[in-house]
Amino acid sequence: MKDRFVVTGGARLEGAVKVSGAKNSVLKLMAAALLAEGTTTLRNCPEILDVPLMQKVLEGLGCIVTIDGPVVRITTPAMPTSDADFDAVRQFRASVCVLGPLTARCGRAVVALPGGDAIGSRPLDMHQSGLEKLGARTRIQHGAVVAEADALVGAPITLDFPSVGATENILTAAVLAQGRTVLDNAAREPEIVDLCEMLTSMGAQIQGAGTSTITIDGVARLYPTDHEVIGDRIVAGTWAYAAAMTRGDITVSGISPRNLHLPLEKLKMAGAEIETYETGFRVRMGRRPSAVDYQTLPFPGFPTDLQPMAIGISAVAQGTSVITENVFESRFRFVDEMLRLGADATVDGHHVVLRGMERLSSTEVWSSDIRAGAGLVLSALVSEGETVVHDVHHIDRGYPKFVENLRSLGATIERVSA
Residues annotated within the binding site for UDP-N-acetyl-alpha-D-glucosamine are 93, 305, 327
How is the beta sheet containing 14-18 ordered, strand by strand?
A: 14-18, 249-253, 280-284, 273-277
**Do 238 and 399 meet the contact criterion of CB atoms below 8 Å apart?**
yes
> Of 117, 194, 232, 391, which is the active-site residue?
117
Whether 68 is catalytic is: no
Enter the DSSP assignment of 389: E
Which residues sit in the known binding site? 23-24, 93, 305, 327
Q: Which of 213, 149, 211 is nearest to 180 (CA)?
A: 213
- Residue 9 to residue 285: CA distance in whole angstroms: 17
Amino acid at 409: L
**Type and span of the H or E element at 112:** strand 108-112
The separation between the first and the last C-alpha atoms of the chain, rounded to the nearest angstrom, is 9
DSSP 153: B
Helices (H), 61-180: 86-89, 99-106, 125-133, 164-174
Of 18, 66, 74, residue with least CA distance to 198: 74
Neighbours of 200 (CB within 10 A): 16
For 247-265, b/e burial (b = at least 16 CB within 10 A) is bbbbbbbbbbbebbebbbe
Query: CB 404: neighbour CB atoms within 10 A?
Result: 12
Active-site annotation, residues: 117
